[in-house]
Chains A and B, each alone.
Chain A
Amino acid sequence: NAGVTQTPKFRVLKTGQSMTLLCAQDMNHEYMYWYRQDPGMGLRLIHYSVGEGTTAKGEVPDGYNVSRLKKQNFLLGLESAAPSQTSVYFCASSHGQGSSYEQYFGPGTRLTVT
């Protein structure tokens, strides 16, 4: 049981390049989330998904797209990377959606955009 895994762990992009971050969970969770973590700001929600084939915008969705084609995977895409997207990205998943359901986090992806 690997929990939540993220690929890649590190990436450096040039401005304007595109990339996709992959999140996978093996806990059969319905809900999945993408956050970004910036110094002094805690984590902010980018997009989330309440089930296979569904996605929704979070607090800071601009510049990102997501897809949930399979229940276990949640992809985060950057179509045209900008330096402001330099951050650490965390994926999380949860079994349910209420406050009693713990979110399980992946180890993070450190992205630098030059």
Chain B
Amino acid sequence: AQSVTQLDSHVSVSEGTPVLLRCNYSSSYSPSLFWYVQHPNKGLQLLLKYTSAATLVKGINGFEAEFKKSETSFHLTKPSAHMSDAAEYFCVVSDRDGGYNKLIFGAGTRLAVHP
């Protein structure tokens, strides 16, 4: 079965500094991976997804993630944090369960951005 581990439950950065949110996955085959963002009291929004095309994936709001098979990692980065980036971020892997592709969520990383 697939699983995903988000290595930090909380990350705090200053506005204008880089963001790194770490995610490792386990998979018995080539996975599909996603990052979702959840702003306070809102639903989840897809930031980006990897589905075995380019290993560097660009998403919305300046975020990107790199799929590294050798490290089984899919870390999320952004060169310069903005106050509006403060939210919870979920790394997600798609797992095959019979005829159904289900999403396996990591526990989440809460990003705080300070002025």
Which residues of A line the B interface, CB within 8 A? 4, 40-45, 48, 50, 56, 58-59, 90, 92, 97-100, 102-103, 105-108
Contact = CB atoms under 8 A, between A and B. Distances in A.
B43 interface: yes
Nearest to A44: B105
Contact of A90 (B9, B43, B100, B102): B43
Contacts, number: 52
Interface of B: 9, 32, 36, 41-46, 49, 51, 90, 94, 100-103, 105-108
A44 B45 CA distance: 16
B43 A97 contact: no
A45 B42 contact: no
B100 A56 contact: yes
A98 B95 CA distance: 10
Please list the 7 inter-chain residue pairs (A to B) with the smallest Cβ-Cβ separation, ordered nearest first. Answer: A42-B105, A99-B32, A105-B43, A99-B94, A105-B44, A43-B105, A107-B43
A90 B108 contact: no
B82 to A, nearest CB: 22
B43 A4 contact: yes
A40 B106 CA distance: 9
A42 B106 contact: yes
A92 B51 CA distance: 20
